Amino acid sequence: MTKPTLQSGMTRRPEAKKRRENALSYSDMLPTLTPINNNDETLYSHGQPASFTKGLKHDKYGLATKEEYAKFCSALITGDVNMGGLSISAGEKARKWESPLAGVYFNDIGVDSDTVAMAPAPKLGRSELCAEMATVYAMALTRDMSFEDLCDPQKIIPDIKTGTKKVSVGDLIAELRKLSWFDPAGKPIGYKGHTLTAHEQRRRASLWETPEKGLTIDVLFRGSTAGAKQGPYISQFMLLGTHDLTKANNKGGDPKDGKISYGLQTIEQAQLIPEASEDYMTTWEKWLKVQQGTLFDHPAHKIKRRIHTPRDLAGYVHFDALYQAYLNACLIMLDSKIGTDGDNPIAQQRSSNSMPFATWGGPHILSLVTEVATRGLRAARRTKFQVHRRARPEVIAARISQVAEGHVGGMDPAAIEQLENMLKELGFDLKKRTAREGSILDWVQQLNLHKNGAGKAAPISDDKNFLLPMAFIEGSPMHPAYGAGHATVAGACVTVLKAFFDSNVGFGEKINGGGTLYAADDADTLVKAKRQDGKNASLSDELDKLAANISIGRNIAGVHYYSDYYDSLRMGERIAIGILEEQMFTYHEKLSLTLTSFDGDTIELIQTDGGYGTNSVKTKITNAQGIEVPRDTWWTRDIADYGIVDQPAVAIA
């Protein structure tokens, strides 16, 4: 056991160096990984139609050339700063690829971007991708309903009918449940066929209320964690403010007013929201312009209120400042004097003449919650550009429309066959060349026709226009789908907050005076609601819900899939754990930090004696069944089935 010292000068420097070396050694004990993609890129000619090509030149069928795509991939893999000499095809008024080489960079803190990895994305034509597309279609159909109405099966979805009958939220649930991925009794086809990997089984089950009930209205569009499935949809961290607004004037505020003290300035939870019914890219001409990388001016937002509808949430995650929601949550918890977690004499204020500040106080956590964000974003960029290059939902929707119409050009016949499988599962009759009345595809083409007028989607027919109505005028960002930057950052930032604060205390008793709140119909008044399980929300629950809101808000906009959220969230969690582990070596006192993971594991970071030996820090993980899990087994849980783990963890002497 190496005892801590407080020496200075030449006697301190060797210890500082050794602590840093041992922190690195602790990271190096993790398994060596070689991430892989789902092989759709090489399975079909020139990487299409399920790969990211946005910004490249596209023919009238929306396909990029084999040569340009090959140059693009080569530049990404070799780190060519000139991107193979490629230029965005939209010309001068064009968007640009966003940090395509960030994943080539290395990290100076925490694990390397290749020490975290994501499983191969759902493959083209398989059951999970059908379910993911059905979900983003369903989200587009319901963007302007309140979250309260989405919990009521009788509420009517605007502008949609089955024959002459109006369509309800309950009807939408019934259609989704026809898909094998959402039905516990279904027999979906996964990555390896009918036998799903353990990871696919977990991801599928996370969409259900219970293994017996499957998908229900109580978990529609919800996150994968227990906390995200209970109570109102929106986390109270996105609605409430702080008590103390202006310390300089000694005037306290009411958290229900939704104003957060930020020094002597104020952050309002109310925001400018997008106009209702404003959807984009619902004609082939507009879709194709977006794929070329065309730059558009954003429409003005005129109305201001707290988040009340899915479109409001999509608007928030369109322009948020990366870690904005988690910084706000941190300020709310600091204002409410939420205690720090763990066995720390300074944090627990056991001394009568000192208090936390630079360590275990506001400055410590406010900087730490932002510190992890850039590492999460860098890892997400690596999975996006250097590994998976997954096409966005707007592209898969277009491919579905093309195959339904027969507007396929040089699309790979094997890919067409997989897209036909998706069409059949989604309710399209390949012989009659029409969508089943009352199917989600039927409702999507109705919505597009309502927005466009007749005959405006050519060369796609009105009754085969299954283009995904997008919440953003520019569609998805100029980078691939998998992983999701917002979800990775959510996983990292929320993990840090759960580790730092005593996140198991009741949210209501500490912050809002009791109960669970949501925005009522006027979106200005907060009213109380009950959770389905009858329990009170903990801080950990509300933080998990916050991570789900921000991540799935991007799905609601049409730019991500559920698997993007699910896997990226957990990758972000591991990035944060890696950074917290390294920082344990910097403390000269023994302490512990404890949090609940997104999968219900109890994770304890333990500094045993304040020393700097490799054995002075331990990560203890106990799964939801109460069984202790080795650190490397937990770290690779979601990728263990895919041949990504090259070398198991090794002990460092």
For residue 380, what are the contacts with CB-CB under 8 A and spacing of at least 6? 483, 484, 485, 488, 489, 568, 571
User: Comparing C-alpha atoms, which of 221, 246, 243, 248 is closest to residue 232?
Assistant: 221
- The amino acid occupying position 400 is I
CA distance 215 to 115: 34
CA distance 100 to 194: 35
Q: Within 13 Å and on the Cβ side, how many CA atoms surround 506?
A: 10
What integer pLDDT is reported at residue 1 of this predicted model? 45
What integer pLDDT is reported at residue 334 of this predicted model? 92
Write the pLDDT tens digit of every residue in 106-142: 998 899 999 999 999 999 999 999 999 999 999 999 9
What integer pLDDT is reported at residue 518 of this predicted model? 66
Mean local confidence (pLDDT), 17-27? 91
> DSSP of 571-595, one letter per residue?
HHHHHHHHHHHHHHTT-SS-EEEEE
Q: Is the Cβ–Cβ distance between 69 and 53 less than 8 Å?
A: yes
pTM: 0.95
Q: Within 13 Å and on the Cβ side, how many CA atoms surround 569?
A: 26
Active-site residue among 199, 486, 560, 588? 486
Q: In 3-state terms, what secondary structure has residue 428? A: strand
CA distance 217 to 543: 22
Q: Is the Cβ–Cβ distance between 246 and 264 less than 8 Å?
A: yes
pLDDT-derived band at 614, boundaries 50, 70, 90: confident
Stretch (H or E) spanning 101: none
CA distance 356 to 354: 7
What integer pLDDT is reported at residue 651 of this predicted model? 46
What integer pLDDT is reported at residue 52 of this predicted model? 97
| Residue 345 scores a pLDDT above 90 | no
User: Comparing C-alpha atoms, which of 598, 319, 359, 324 is closest to residue 500?
Assistant: 359
Mark whether 486 is an active-site residue: yes
| Residue ranges in 79-166 assigned as alpha helix (H) | 127-141
Structural domain boundaries, residue 273: 1-45+54-347+356-653
pLDDT-derived band at 653, boundaries 50, 70, 90: very low
Q: In 3-state terms, what secondary structure has residue 263? A: coil
Mean local confidence (pLDDT), 481-497? 97
Mean local confidence (pLDDT), 590-598? 93
Active-site residue among 308, 318, 407, 479? 479
Residue 300: count other Cβ atoms within 10 Å of its Cβ: 8
Q: What is the CATH number of the domain that holds 526?
A: 1.10.606.10
Cis peptide before 648 (omega within 30 of 0): no
Stretch (H or E) spanning 541: helix 539-557
CA distance 410 to 49: 10
Residue 355: count other Cβ atoms within 10 Å of its Cβ: 10
Beta strands 32-33 and 645-647: pairing type?
antiparallel
For the chain, what is the domain count?
A: 1
Mark whether 479 is an active-site residue: yes
pLDDT above 70 covers a percentage of the chain that reads 92
Mean local confidence (pLDDT), 316-341? 92
DSSP lists the bridge partners of residue 294 as 94
